[in-house]
Amino acid sequence: MDSAGNPVKTFAVTTPLYYVNALPHIGSAYTTIAADALARFHRLLGQPVLMITGTDEHGQKIQRTAAARGLEPQAHCDEIVAGFYTLWERLNIAYDRFSRTTAPRHAAIVQEFYQRVWQSGDIYEGRQQGWYCVACEEFKEERELLADKRCPIHTNKSVEWRDEHNYFFKLSNYQEKLSALYAEQPEFIQPVTRRNEVLNFVDSGLQDFSISRINLDWGFPVPTAPEQTLYVWFDALLGYVTALLDDADDPTLENALRQWWPINIHLIGKDILRFHAVYWPAMLMSAGLPLPDRVFGHGFLTKDGQKMGKSLGNTLDPLALVNQYGADAVRFYFLKEIEFGRDGDFSETRFVNVLNADLANDLGNLLNRTLKMASRYCGGKIPKISMDAFTDHHPLAERGANLAGQVQQAYENLAFSEACEAVLSLVRASNKYLDETAPWTLFKQGQQAKTEMVLYAVLESVRLSGYLLAPIVPGLATAIYTQLGFAVDFDQRDIGQQLPFEQHSVWGTLPGDQSLGKASPIFQRIEIPAEVP
């Protein structure tokens, strides 16, 4: 409850729990950056936020990868997980929970959840015969296979023949309920193109799927048949629930679901859409639990227009990228230059161009040039201006007044690039305004009042821009606020209390007479080595 007695609207967002087969790739970084930006935006709004990420560590593929490396599975997982921690730290990801499916408490949650599904009668024993791809952890239809029985997705791996007695989940029981869900909650699956795919899939008929494997140790035993091991996806999805437990909580569903359930949004790549938009809600229905609000499947990244892949040798290493250019640069490029939901491309030329143009030239230099004038012309303080000076269609005041609403809408729609564009339009207008009013000339002419008004308007526009971009480039936002004389750090979880949205999203908030910090470029231009012809 808040002070007025209204229930506080919490916000919980998840990334996938990444499979620890290998160190994190750029796609994992992309999803996580987006989730972090969304979480940070909701923190600005002052909501209690829980951002969940983590790792999915069971399954045959992990067992084999570990064996190939001569390691115990857990040792292998621990090593890979360390790589995730490092990358998230470097990318400035402010997650609240890191959920590992090998955590002891996860076993209890999985067990309890399984029992609920068992009691609803949705689990039965059956026989499963077919070709199995260990890399996919899925059975394949014979006609899907490539020559030499190779998997169509993992083209260098052959599938294996399996003939097993497994436990199945009665997905077929949920076809109508799922269809009703999609109809009643059209925004459950986003974007629309992903939704269409799911509708198409569900309408074509749902088959029960097996939720256990034999001849596999690395996972949880099936509670009703301990000689079998739970299918990795069944336990992985439940990692979202386990993540909700507080440290002090006993690992029960009741405790896990108490505060943050249902999750507001699952952010995923489009490759795991079916698990999140079909299997997962069906499992939850079976267990009698409320469903998440939204599942958003974003697009894939290419590099220089080509699919990335180990076999092509053109992968983009996120850690190398962030080590070279910094967190804000990487975050900004992917969220501003690629429309979230659609496929997008990374090219180094474009990367450098965008960062230089938007962050160094337009935004960074705008603050720098204005700050230096303010220190020279206004004694290093923010000029004290009455808001009355900005009434009649002031180009920045007017634009600034409408900005927060637009940007908020964009963030809520996960239209990060739209949010960036809206803010950048204020930045560009500010540069133009400076040139048109030429405060350096005004000052020489002794027009102190006008000079101060102009500088205030621009400083305030930079502040607002920094505030609204903070979820995407928190480091830059902190630098902007610091140079404007505030003592804040946008990485603080309670930033929405320190700098309330209702106040700081409004143009005209900058306090007059506040002493300015030292001017220093907030984003260095990236110099491209000259091309040798």
Partner RNA sequence: GGCUCAGUAGCUCAGUGGUAGAGCAGGGGACUCAUAAGCCCUUGGUCGCGUGUUCAAAUCACGCCUGAGCCA
521 binds RNA (CB under 7 A): yes
Q: Binding to RNA (CB under 7 A): which residues in 85-124?
A: none
Interface with RNA in residues 261-300 (CB under 7 A): 270-271, 274
Using rule CB under 7 A, residue 172 touches RNA: no
According to CB under 7 A, which residues from 387 to 406 bind RNA? none
- DSSP H or E run through 166: strand 160-169
Residue 432 as a binder of RNA (CB under 7 A): the answer is yes
- Which residues touch 66 (CB under 8 Å, ≥6 apart)? 72, 73, 75, 76, 77, 218
Please say which residue, 169 or 523, places its beta carbon nearer to RNA. 523
> Closest CB to RNA among 49 and 181?
181
Residues 304-343, mask of contacts with RNA (x by CB under 7 A): -x-x-----------------------------xxx--xx
Give the nearest distance from C-beta 174 to RNA in angstroms: 16
| Binding residue for RNA, selected from 67, 180, 357, 449, defined by CB under 7 A | 357
Backbone phi, psi, residue 205, to 5°: 105, 130
User: Using CB under 7 A, which of the segments 5-13, 351-359, 379-387, 485-493 binds RNA?
Assistant: 351-359
Output DSSP code: residue 293.
S
Q: How many CB atoms lie within 10 A of CB 240?
A: 25
Which DSSP state fits 149? G
Opening angle at CA 509, ends 520 and 456, nearest 5:
55
Using alpha carbons only, give the angle 353, 328, 40 rounded to the nearest 5 degrees: 135
423 lines the binding site for RNA (CB under 7 A): no
Residues 440-479 interacting with RNA (rule: CB under 7 A): 440-441
CB of 496 to RNA, least distance (A): 26
Q: What residues from 473 to 512 belong to the interface with RNA (CB under 7 A)?
A: none
373 binds RNA (CB under 7 A): yes
Choose among 500, 356, 362, 474: nearest CA to 426: 362
Member of 197, 249, 317, 491 binding RNA (CB under 7 A): 197
Would you say 118 or 440 has its CB closer to RNA? 440
Euclidean distance between the first and final Cα of the chain, in Å?
66
| Per rule CB under 7 A, count of chain residues that contact RNA | 50
Which stretch in 38-46, 103-111, 360-368, 482-490 sits in contact with RNA by CB under 7 A? Answer: 360-368
Q: Which two tokens stand for residue 157?
A: 């791996």
* CA atoms lying within 13 Å on the CB side of residue 490: 31
Under DSSP, the state recorded for 158 is: B
Instruction: Tell me: does residue 372 bind RNA (CB under 7 A).
Output: yes
Nearer to RNA, 294 or 525 (CB): 525
Residue 514 CB, shortest distance to RNA, in Å, is 19
Asked if residues 52 and 99 have their Cβ atoms less than 8 Å apart, the reply is yes
Structure letter (DSSP) for residue 23:
S
Residue 462 is inside which H or E element, if any? helix 448-469
**Which residues, listed in sequence order, are joined to residue 307 by a DSSP beta bridge?**
302
C-beta closer to RNA: residue 369 or 381 = 369
- Residues near 456 by Cβ (< 8 Å), separated by ≥ 6? 382, 383, 385, 510, 512
Instruction: Provide the 8-state DSSP code for 194.
Output: H
* One residue of 344, 466, 474, 496 binding RNA per CB under 7 A: 344
156 binds RNA, rule: CB under 7 A:
no
Name residues contacting RNA, limited to 177-196 (CB under 7 A).
Answer: 192-193, 196
Both tokens of 377, joined, read 């012309």
Q: In angstroms, rounded to a whole number, what is the distance separating the alpha carbons of residues 147 and 331?
A: 41
Q: What's the closest the beta carbon of residue 454 comes to RNA, in angstroms?
A: 10
Cis previous bond, 511, omega within 30: no
C-alpha triplet 347, 299, 340: angle, nearest 5°: 85
Nearer to RNA, 13 or 410 (CB): 410
Considering only 78, 249, 317, 362, the residue that binds RNA (CB under 7 A) is: 362
Q: CB under 8 Å to 369, separation ≥6 — which residues?
A: 434
Where on the chain is the footprint of RNA (CB under 7 A)? 192-193, 196-197, 200-201, 204, 270-271, 274, 305, 307, 337-339, 342-345, 350, 353-354, 356-358, 360-362, 364-365, 367-370, 372-373, 428, 431-432, 434-436, 438, 440-441, 521-525
